[in-house]
Structure 1
Amino acid sequence: MAELNITLLAGGVGGAKAAEGLAASQYASGTRVVGNIADDEEFHGLWVSPDIDTLIYSLADKIDRQQGWGRKGETHQVLQELALLGQETWMTLGDLDLATHIYRTALKKQGMSASEITRRLAQYHGASLPILLPTDDVVQTKLHTDKGYLSFQEYFVREHCDAQVKRVEYVGAETATPCEATLEQIQNCDLVVLAPSNPIVSIGAILSVPGIAEALENTSAYVIAISPLIAGKTVKGPADQMLAAMGKPANSMGIYQCYQRFIDALVIDESDRQEASALHDLGVDVLVTPSFMSNTDEKRDLLSKVVDFALQRQTIRVA
């Protein structure tokens, strides 16, 4: 078989796991990853891209596996000193991690595009898959909550998701220009996989960039999404809570409603098998399979199964 051209939309830890699964599979050489930049925020004068860095560190096997983010073997002397100086240190930035943020910020101030900075960092760290961005412009997820107007990092890290989300806003999205390379990747690929990431603040933020959702609607590629829910709950993160806050059911149907404009298929966990028939009735292909990913084998097996399912369900053209 000729090489499959695969696009993975990924955000956060779930996205990084899916990316690792494809990187460990027979489909690695044809895979490109589109990462979420809407969690980006400035800390201590440095521009931090949490989801992109999680992707890079994971694909380079430099991630702290226990916590799922940050560098393994990390120290926090700078953060400890900042705390003594009376600075806010709720965003845990390690000493090795800070080097990445210093480098990114310096190049950003020189006028280099976020895409090129990401490419250089991925190359330096040895990320095993190319990482594309939805836009080189600044787009930030902001949440209207009962505790005020919060950035996603304030909500997720500082408040530990302990705030009622009333509305989600993607600031800057309306005027953002999509990266041409990303639009071309979606248009020309054979298969699009939506990682088991938060459909509202991770994948949803990518889709908020003008042209991205439209590209998914218009592509001839087969589009398959992996639900981040297992028995109606997320393994990590607030996706289930956010679905409910947005008036969507915290189940497979809620995930479908987020992506119904363009998906051909949905992957749901074995524990949610009873929800498959309702999805079938809507004309959606459904793969029911264990979807928890705790190690490399499980990541590779799930993503290989996802790609194989897509190949079986539709004749995918190959390059």
Structure 2
Amino acid sequence: MTSSERPRVVVLAGGVGGSRFLLGVREALLRRGAPQATAIVNTGDDLWLSGVRLQPDIDSVLYALGGVNDTVRGWGRAGDTERVNEELQAWGAGWPWFTLGDLDLGTHLARTGWLRDGLTVTEVVERLSRRWPLGIRMLPMTDAEVDTRVRLEGGGDMHFQEWWTRHRATLAPAAFENPGIVDAAPAPGVVDAIAAADVVLMAPSNPVVSIGPILAVPGVREALRRTSARVVGVSPIIGGAVVRGMADVCLTAIGVATAADAVAAHYGARADGGVLDAWLLAEEDAGLAASVDGLGIRAQVAPLWMRDLELSAALAEAALRAADA
């Protein structure tokens, strides 16, 4: 595939890293004159709070593509206020350590109302996507509620958002679970999008709690293994360290080292029952290319930092080129 060709692209994504990567994908495809991409977004972070349904990863992608995200905090709406959140806390409602902005609450209320009216999560996401010209079609990974729970080494469990936001991943996790996911199904359009794709990209999102739940939805791994598209992953590890957040704690909990080649091995080669054809390594990890090649996954080295739109677009273009046989 050359830079002048117009591939149909599917991206598996979640979180801030996924949002930044999708901005780059959109820009790279615009420069190619290619059709819009389809983003399959993690919904394992979802939760009910104060009677409303929150979808943190869906909203991160929505706000970023809509150009209304808070780039300083890394989440929520730019210029948001917190009057309602302060009132909720005065009533002892919600979580005092989980801030809900007023504009953000408007999204949650709209979503909750539509869900209670009988719309599916897919239909709600489609409605939310009409607000701004996103340039990327968004699909949730599933319409089922499969919120992530963290089982702790010392006993007990809690919602992922409490473990991540309140405790900052300081409580040792024994496992990450998505109750009900074995009975879930891919959201309408997910399997068809993967089947029709020319390229499937795996964003540099948290492998355990962002990409992991997507792959755990029955039928998604099988669709990735069957597709004629090349499946290219982008390492979330640069120079042996996570770029953002506490993904290293998540990886350690499942027995995966915080190293680019170890994460590639975790996903596995398609030729060996895994999901990857190629893997983008950071320049800082170029020495691991032979290790990745030895897994049956074609290693490609590229700058992975996404400090601005130009760098994100260059990374997306590198990922598209890595799909070349």
SS of match in other structure, 1:29: coil
In the alignment, structure 1 residue 216 sits paired with structure 2 residue 224:
yes
Return 26-35 or 151-160, whichever deviates more.
26-35
1:288, CA displacement in angstroms? 1.1
In the alignment, structure 1 residue 291 sits paired with structure 2 residue 297:
no
* Match of residue 156 from structure 1: 164
1:127, CA displacement in angstroms? 2.0
| Structure 2 residue identity aligned to 1:104 | R
Is the 1:54–1:63 contact (alpha carbons within 8 Å) kept by the matching residues of 2?
Answer: yes
Cα offsets for 1:66-113 (capped at 9, x unmatched):
121100011000111122222332211100000000000000001101
In the alignment, structure 1 residue 89 sits paired with structure 2 residue 96:
yes
* Match of residue 305 from structure 1: 318
TM-score (norm 1): 0.94
* Match of residue 278 from structure 1: 291
Matched ranges for 1:120-139 at <5 A:
120-139=127-146
Unaligned residue ranges in structure 2 (runs of 5+): 269-273
* Match of residue 183 from structure 1: 191
Is the 2:204–2:235 contact (alpha carbons within 8 Å) kept by the matching residues of 1?
Answer: yes
Is the 2:232–2:322 contact (alpha carbons within 8 Å) kept by the matching residues of 1?
Answer: no
* Match of residue 37 from structure 1: 43
The percent of aligned pairs where both chains have the same amino acid is 35
In structure 1, what is the Cα distance between the partners aligned to 2:247 and 2:316? 21
Return 199-208 or 235-244, whichever deviates more.
235-244
SS of match in other structure, 2:74: coil
Matched ranges for 1:44-55 at <5 A:
44-55=50-61
Unaligned residue ranges in structure 1 (runs of 5+): 315-319
* Match of residue 11 from structure 1: 14
In structure 2, what is the Cα distance between the partners aligned to 1:106 and 1:299? 35
SS of match in other structure, 1:107: helix
1:225, CA displacement in angstroms? 0.4
Is the 1:229–1:252 contact (alpha carbons within 8 Å) kept by the matching residues of 2?
Answer: yes
In structure 1, what is the Cα distance between the partners aligned to 2:196 and 2:47? 32
In structure 2, what is the Cα distance between the partners aligned to 1:189 and 1:231? 31
| Structure 1 residue identity aligned to 2:304 | S
| Structure 2 residue identity aligned to 1:244 | T
* Match of residue 85 from structure 2: 79
In structure 2, what is the Cα distance between the partners aligned to 1:101 and 1:135? 18
* Match of residue 165 from structure 1: 173
In structure 2, what is the Cα distance between the partners aligned to 1:259 and 1:283? 12
User: How many residues are treated as equivalent by the alignment?
Assistant: 312
In the alignment, structure 1 residue 112 sits paired with structure 2 residue 119:
yes
Distance 1:285 1:201, change over 3 A: same
SS of match in other structure, 2:107: helix
| Structure 2 residue identity aligned to 1:305 | A
* Match of residue 101 from structure 1: 108
Structure 2 residue aligned with 1:254, among 256, 262, 268?
Answer: 262
Cα offsets for 1:244-271 (capped at 9, x unmatched):
1211111122211221102001111111
In the alignment, structure 1 residue 265 sits paired with structure 2 residue 271:
no
* Match of residue 317 from structure 1: none
TM-score (norm 2): 0.93
Return 184-193 or 160-169, whichever deviates more.
160-169
* Match of residue 225 from structure 1: 233
Is the 2:265–2:292 contact (alpha carbons within 8 Å) kept by the matching residues of 1?
Answer: no
